[in-house]
Structures are given as C-alpha cells and as structure tokens.
Structure 1
Amino acid sequence: MRRAMFRGFALSLACAFSVAAGTAQAADTSVTPRTYNVWQWNVAGNTIHDGSLTDGLVDQAVDSIVNRGADFAAFNELCQNQYSAIITELRARAWPVDGNTSFARFEPSLPAGDADVCAGSAYGNALFSKHPLGSADRVTLPTDGTAEARNLLCAPLADGLGTVFCTTHLTTDPDFKSTQLKAVFDQLATYDTPIIAGDFNVQPHHKKLNPYYAPSVNTVANDGNTGSYRELDDADSAHCPGHGESTTDAPSDNKCGIAAKIDLVFVRESTLAGPYSADSLAPSTACTGVAACSDHRVLIGTVTVQ
C-alpha cells in the first residue's frame, strides 16, 4: 500500500514538475554570451579513500581541473579535509584568477566527528570557481530516512551577470528520488542562468528525469520529456544520442547497451547561446592502494549561455 501511495504521489509531483518547467525565466539577450568549461566528479572520498590526503586523489583532481581548463568544478562524496587540500593546491597552481580568494564552497551531508567517516572530517559536496563567487545557497533536500542529509549547493558568480553554479548528490533510494529531484528543480527555477553538475543517481532515460529534459530531447534512448533543460552530453551523435556516455561501470537498462550514466550537467535550454558538448573521462589509476581513483568518471563539458 505504501508503494502504491508513493507512485500516486510521484505522478502528481511529475505533473507539477512539468507545469513549473514551463515557467522558466527567459534569458536576458542584452548580456554578452559567456562560455564556461564545467568539470564534475564523484570522488568517493570516503568509501574508496577513507579521507586520505596522501594517496593521490587530491593531486589527480587538481591536475584534471587545471589541465582541462575548468571554469567551474563540482565534487560529490568529498571529505572536508580533502576540500581544504584542494583549495591549497589550486591556489598554488594559480587557478583562481585575479587574486580570487572567494572561489570555493562546501556543504556537509554528514558532519565531522565520526572516526569511520572521512577520518573524522565532514563529508559532502563542494564547488570551485576560477572567478569569484557570491554567497552560497545551501538547501537540505527532503530526507530519505538515512543519516545523510542530502543537499543542493549553489553559488552565483560575483560578476552580477546571473550565472549560478550548483551541485547535488541525490539519494540512491528510488522511493525518494522524485521528491529530491523536485526540490532541486524548484530551487533552480529561482535563478536566471543556472548550471548544475552532480551525481543525480538517476539515468537520462528514466521517467523521473522527464520533467528536466526539454521536449527537444526526443530520441530512441530518451523520449517523453516535458521539461526545460538540456544535459551537456545529450547532443553527442556518436555516443547514445539524447543520453550520452557512461559515467560509471554499473549495468544499465538503457537502449544503447552501455553502462550507467548518473553524473549529469544541466543547463536551461532558454539560456543557451551556442553549441554545447561533454565528455566522460576514464578515472585515473594513479591513486595508491586502489585500482582506480573513483568508481565514477570525470564528466567535463563546455557551454555558452546568455
């Protein structure tokens, strides 16, 4: 009975979702288009690295951010001590430009103090920006009943042009994904030009993401969409059109016969001012003591918005 009630609730959420999608703000065409390189990685900072600062994770992440020319970088499953080390390393590499000292934000989903999590450090999501950031919005998502307080972390660029960069890491529990997706969607609707990169734990072809993807995304691998967003890998004709490349090695029921894609970068379709693209990168094997630095791939993308 509980599952049947939830299915009805999820259906009503999807309907409300679709209505909200149609009310997205139009882009201000008087502003010069801006091009951003976006970088996203779920690093498994606790489950694979136990909060380590010396096994290569920090170095590999910073090398990738700098070498890929990222303007924005988003992390999921990052320990706060690793976050602090990344700040130090990015400063040493002169990645934040123009003396930018306000370029990083962290929001815990598990607090510090548990010796079995991140070596006692807090655990959560983080944002980094080459250019200065303004005050962050920190939204705790509806609970899935676990100890982890899933969240959405967003911060605007301080230039006042309306670009807001966000990250999130949603629940793995299917019974609570729709409510968390709606909470994220509703917060994004309050921004002029949102860009969100994160581990959604939902694949592009699943119906729960229909309220996100715009109807213009209509392929064999991803149809029935009613939303207002494009995902930066959805236009790649060589890798599962409408869906994009795998970001994990987990099995999937998608129609392209590839592994699961759950790491996504969404941009509101009405703000697009040119082509966009994304690529999924094989995880580094340079971290000591593990076969790969993460069980997720780095997702990089480029987008021009107005």
Structure 2
Amino acid sequence: MRRLAGILTALLLSLGVVTPAAADTTATYQVWSWNVAGWAMNKALINNGMVSGAVSSIQVRGAQFVALNEICWQQYKEIQSKLATAGWPQDTTNFSRFAEQRADVCNGEAFGEAIFSKFPLGTAQKVLLPQDETKEQRQLLCAPLAARPQLRFCTAHITPYSTNVQQLQKVLSVLEQQNADGDTMLLAGDLNAQPSWGRLDDWYDADLKTDVNIQNRGQYRELDDLDPICAGYGEKTTENNTEGQCGQSSKIDLIFVRKNHLKGAYSEDSLAIAQNCTGGKPCSDHRIIVGTVTIDR
C-alpha cells in the first residue's frame, strides 16, 4: 500500500499536480471580552486603572482573542501599546482593529469597539447595524486570522434601545452567511439581550432546553450555557440589579460559536468587577467574561 501511494504521488508530481498536505485545523482558543465603559465611567482616561487592569487580565487569563466595547480611542491605543510592549501579540504591527461608533464623546476622540488578536489579522469587516434613536452608529466588527482566513473573530455592542431586535437579527444574518461561505465565527460582546429572552431563540441551539431557556430553534452555543450556576443561562455579567435568572443580576455579555464548528468541550467564566479605578470606584458596570472553546479552524 505504501509503495502504491508512493507511485501515485510520483505520478501526480510528474503531471504537475501538487497535493496539499493535510492540515489539522482544530484548535483551542481563549476568548476575553469586556464592556469597559470607557467614557461613561472612565471618561477616556488611560491612567485610572482600567487600562492597566485590562492588560493585566488579558495576559493572566492567557487570552488569544479580546473584544472591547464602549472604548475610547485613547484607551484603545494605550492597550495596544501596552500589549505590544509586553510581547503579547505575534506581530506588534498587526493585531488589533477598531470601529468608530460616535465622535461626540471621549474628549473629541473616537468612541467605539475593538478587537485584539494574539495572531496577525487580515482585513477587517465592518457591518453597519440598523440605526436606533441615538447618535451612535453601531457596527459588527470582524477580522479573519491572516494565517487561517476561514476563522473570523467578531464583536458587537448591540443597542439597548428600539432596534435591539433588528440589530441582533442583522448580526445573526451575517454570521449565518459567513457559515454558508465556509467560515468559522467567534462572536463576543455586549448584546444587551439575556439568554432567556425570546429574541435570542433564533440564536440558541434547538437542542438546548432548560427551565429558563426552553424554546430555542437556533444553531449556536453560548460558552456559558452549560454552567450549573444557571443551566441554559449562565453566570451574571452585570451587578446590582435583579433582572437575571436564578436569582442573579442580568447576563448580557455573551460569547457565541455555531455548534457545527465545535470540536470539544467549552466553558466560560464571569469575573467580579474590579473596584480600584479613579479613587477606589468600579472600573465598569460590566464584568469581564473569559471563555475557552475548541473549534475546527
């Protein structure tokens, strides 16, 4: 059999046919996501503890993909600089992307969302979402890995206002189209929707049925949906409210992957909000979420 394979290979080479080597495209990734309240609570500051806390957590948690929502341009550039100096990315010239969503806050600098990758990135994709009644032009921000262009990492900060459902539907339609094109998508961000809400039934896997999340008809798994703290829902990502399930505050920060790309176990954790920013105040009104997932790209 080996001799026959060798003869076949030699024949293909003699005909000018190159057979690519089989590549193992299954990999495990650490995803880190935080709505940093860069203007609302941190007023575009880069030296009040939020930026340094984010950079430290990214490294300590071994993150390879990072999503940041509500971030000012100054803070984005400072995080970019600190991660580069720390040797976090493989290529310090190509590891982050930013999408501007407002220009009237952050002391005159841009306000929006960002993604960071330990691996070099390809060209960013920015999809404008349906407009709500505010000035903010919310977007879905994605970028592929340069070496694995079929793997795309994305973030979105969905509005809490009138077009929440329409924006969720737009993001889902883009994810589904990318899947149809053969891509694997990892989405992390503040979606301003809770797992138990009907508007996410088209997202959550139809096989996921729990007391608090039962009428799903989708194809996606959220990395915290098996957490025993609240099966089908997960762990809170906000504080000081009673809007969540299982006696918790609400969970609106989520990490999704389509189930057909899952190749092993997955999990997610929600970290308590640091209280050491701007003179002992909370660094955000959202928790950091960190997830681990094995996928086929």
TM-score, with length taken from structure 1:
0.86
Give the deviation of 1:248 after TM superposition: 0.1
RMSD of aligned alpha carbons: 1.4
Give, as a single letter, the amino acid of the residue that structure 1 aligns with 2:194: Q
The answer to whether the Cα contact below 8 Å between 1:221 and 1:254 also exists between their aligned partners in 2 is: no
Higher Rg: 2
The answer to whether the Cα contact below 8 Å between 1:100 and 1:130 also exists between their aligned partners in 2 is: no
Look up the match of 1:160. Answer: 148
Look up the match of 2:285. Answer: 295
Closer, same or farther in 2 for the Cα pair 1:220/1:86, shift >3 Å?
same
Equivalent of 1:48 in 34, 41, 45: 41
Q: Partners in 2 of 1:33 and 1:158 — Cα distance?
A: 16
Give, as a single letter, the amino acid of the residue that structure 1 aligns with 2:119: H
Give, as a single letter, the amino acid of the residue that structure 1 aligns with 2:34: W
Give the deviation of 1:251 after TM superposition: 2.8
What runs of 5+ residues in structure 1 fail to find an aligned partner?
1-28
Look up the match of 1:59. Answer: 52
Closer, same or farther in 2 for the Cα pair 1:120/1:289, shift >3 Å?
farther
Look up the match of 1:193. Answer: 184
Give, as a single letter, the amino acid of the residue that structure 2 aligns with 1:246: K
Q: Partners in 2 of 1:270 and 1:230 — Cα distance?
A: 10
Q: Partners in 2 of 1:36 and 1:159 — Cα distance?
A: 15
The answer to whether the Cα contact below 8 Å between 2:65 and 2:115 also exists between their aligned partners in 1 is: yes
Residues 116-169 of structure 1: per-residue CA shift (max 9 Å, x gap): x21221100000000001000011100012111111100011113511000000
Look up the match of 1:220. Answer: 211
What runs of 5+ residues in structure 2 fail to find an aligned partner?
1-21
Closer, same or farther in 2 for the Cα pair 1:268/1:250, shift >3 Å?
farther
Look up the match of 2:102. Answer: 110
Look up the match of 1:305. Answer: 295
The answer to whether the Cα contact below 8 Å between 2:244 and 2:251 also exists between their aligned partners in 1 is: no
Identity of aligned residues (%): 47
Residues 100-121 of structure 1: per-residue CA shift (max 9 Å, x gap): 421000001102xx3xx21221
Look up the match of 1:92. Answer: 85
**SS at structure 2 position matched to 1:257:** coil
Q: Partners in 2 of 1:249 and 1:292 — Cα distance?
A: 11
* Residue correspondence of structure 1 range 1-306 to structure 2 within 5 A: 31-97=24-90, 99-111=91-103, 114=104, 117-160=105-148, 162-173=150-161, 175-191=162-178, 192-237=183-228, 239-306=229-296
TM-score, with length taken from structure 2:
0.88
Closer, same or farther in 2 for the Cα pair 1:42/1:153, shift >3 Å?
same
Aligned residues: 271
